Amino acid sequence: GDRDYAVEKLMYRGVFAAQHGEVDRAIVLFTRAQLQIPLHPGVNYNLALAQLERGRPQEALDALAAALTGEPSYVPARELAGSILVRAGFPADAAEQWRVALVYEPERVTLRNNLGNVLMMLEKPDEAREQWDESVRLDPSNTTAHHNLGSWHSQRGDRDEALRHFERCLDLKPD
């Protein structure tokens, strides 16, 4: 109990420090908490965010790996890891993180949109379309998914279907 309380307190102090621009102090606090419970998902996730703020993607990925070792179903860590991996040039690894995350949260529309985008990068357009179709099914007002589907249909010469999705985007978000 005392150790858990101490770790939670350090984590919240770290979050507070990060929110007030004291990222280096936040990293120190998260690292102290990590020493107490090395695989704590929340501590490691917040440490990863702070490491990213300092431009250290590898350290962020290391912290996310610890978070996922501690709790494999921690979707925010998988989502962030996927984003870092895409930026680092590893889209297949990002896709794997997001596929696993969707096992735990199949209705998370942002994951489906991101997975669709990375599947296009991996030259798997039909799989990408499946993700965007599911995004629209889950959230009919999702302009990102409609736009992606409009582009997908446009690239295939299906102008009517492309237009339908683009018009839906404009209906939802005229600006």
User: Which DSSP string corresponds to 129-173?
Assistant: HHHHHHHHHH-TT-HHHHHHHHHHHHHTT-HHHHHHHHHHHHHH-
Which residue reads 């990590």 in tokens?
Answer: 34
The pLDDT of residue 118? 97
Angle at 37 between CA 96 and CA 82, to 5 degrees: 15
For residue 29, pLDDT over 90 is answered with yes
pLDDT category of residue 167 using cuts at 50, 70 and 90? very high
Please report, rounded to a whole number, the percentage of residues in the chain having pLDDT higher than 90.
98
What the block records as the tokens of 51 is 């490491």
Average pLDDT over residues 109-121: 97
* pLDDT of res. 1: 67
- Let me know: does 82 contact 57? Beta carbons within 8 Å: no
Model confidence at 175: pLDDT above 90 = no
Q: What is the mean pLDDT of residues 68-79?
A: 96
- In the predicted structure, residue 8 carries a pLDDT above the cut 70: yes
Average pLDDT over residues 171-175: 92
Residue 142 has pLDDT above 90, yes or no: yes
3-state class percentages of the chain: helix first, strand second, coil last, to nearest 5: 80, 0, 20
Q: What is the mean pLDDT of residues 89-112?
A: 97
Which residue, among 39, 40, 37, 15, has the nearest Cα to 26 in the 3D structure?
15
* pLDDT of 73: 97
Q: What is the pTM of this model?
A: 0.89
Q: Mean pLDDT, the chain, as a whole number?
A: 96
Looking at residues 115-134, what average pLDDT do you find? 97
Q: How far apart are CA 135 and CA 121, in angstroms?
A: 18
- Is 147 within 8 Å of 169 (Cβ atoms)? yes
- 39 DSSP assignment: T
Q: Which 3 state secondary structure label does DSSP give 142?
A: coil
Lookup: tokens for 136: 């629209």
| pLDDT at 69 exceeding the cut of 90 | yes
